[in-house]
Amino acid sequence: MRVINFKPKLNTTYTYWDIKDESLIVRYIHEQCKPLFIKDNESLVRLYIESNGHSYKLCSSNKGWAPTLVIDGIVMHTIMSDPLKYSYVKMRGVRVRGVVLDCCTGLGYTTLVALRRGARRIVTVEADENVIELARYNPWSSHLMDPRVELILGDIYEASGWIRDSVFDTIIHDPPRPTKRFTALYSEELYRIYSRLLKRGGLLYHYVPMTGVKYRRRNVKRGVIERLRRAGFTIIGENEYGLLAKRVN
């Protein structure tokens, strides 16, 4: 675990709509989410990482839209609209205040929303160094170098061990959907950690993906609510994307 001095590499990134190479244009023309590239000597190389059996890539569905992150074929944001605008929509009605913990940095879009909504300081935690490496090439992630932002590379469980109790006014929990790899991000143990880190009366916004509700009849939100309540939270609001909870004990 370490604090990252985020340094963007903006002058080397090209979107699908920037390139002139006809072979690349034809190769990716039918993909809904178009790849981003960097220049290696005179060649364009797709922004794609394979590491420890996992794959990571940046892509964008429309000219001018912020990229989305895809891990192991799973879209972390959305390809149906601009992912940055989608981050604002997800947090509709959520009042951000004071010192903020942002778990699951990703490309930093939630961090940017929190900054623009009035956060005084943000500690943002990302467990995967491959995600941070791709964010360096994303022009929409450059705010992660803002002096009000402290970016930590590490597991949230580990990071919580050196953060003192009752320090945050707001916590934003924006996890990937609950696949086997990410189930620890939906645990009662984590919610108890959040209760400890929040000031009394502090607010937690928990993004809850609705994957599986329609076809597998899996109600992720209901399970989250039950675990949050056992961890000392009361639910004070929700929108179609997540839950707003308050620490009460």
pLDDT at residue 10 above 80?
no
The model's confidence at residue 218, banded by pLDDT at 50, 70 and 90, is low
pLDDT at residue 243 above 70?
yes
Q: What is the pLDDT of residue 214?
A: 45
What would the pLDDT profile of 89-148 be if each residue is shown by its tens digit?
999 889 899 999 999 999 999 999 999 999 999 999 999 999 999 999 999 999 999 999
Identify the helix (H) or strand (E) that includes residue 150: strand 149-153
Round to whole Å and give the CA distance between 69 and 58: 5
CB atoms within 10 A of CB 45: 13
Judged on CB neighbours under 10 Å (0-12, 13-18, 19+), 95 is: exposed
What would the pLDDT profile of 49-95 be if each residue is shown by its tens digit?
999 999 999 999 999 999 999 999 999 989 999 999 999 999 988 98
Give the CA count within 13 Å in the CB-facing half-sphere of 165.
5
Read off the DSSP letter of residue 148.
T
Kindly state the average pLDDT of the residues 192-212: 91
Which spans in 29-146 are helix H? Answer: 83-90, 109-116, 129-136
Q: What is the pLDDT of residue 93?
A: 86
CB atoms within 10 A of CB 223: 14
Give the percent of the chain with pLDDT over 70: 97
Round to whole Å and give the CA distance between 59 and 47: 8
Distance of CA 129 to the CA centre of its chain: 13
The model's confidence at residue 209, banded by pLDDT at 50, 70 and 90, is confident
Q: What is the pTM of this model?
A: 0.93
Judged on CB neighbours under 10 Å (0-12, 13-18, 19+), 5 is: exposed
CATH 3.40.50.720 fits 84-247, yes or no: no
Q: What is the pLDDT of residue 213?
A: 47
At which residue do the structure tokens 């090439």 appear? 137
For the chain, domain boundaries: 9-77, 84-247
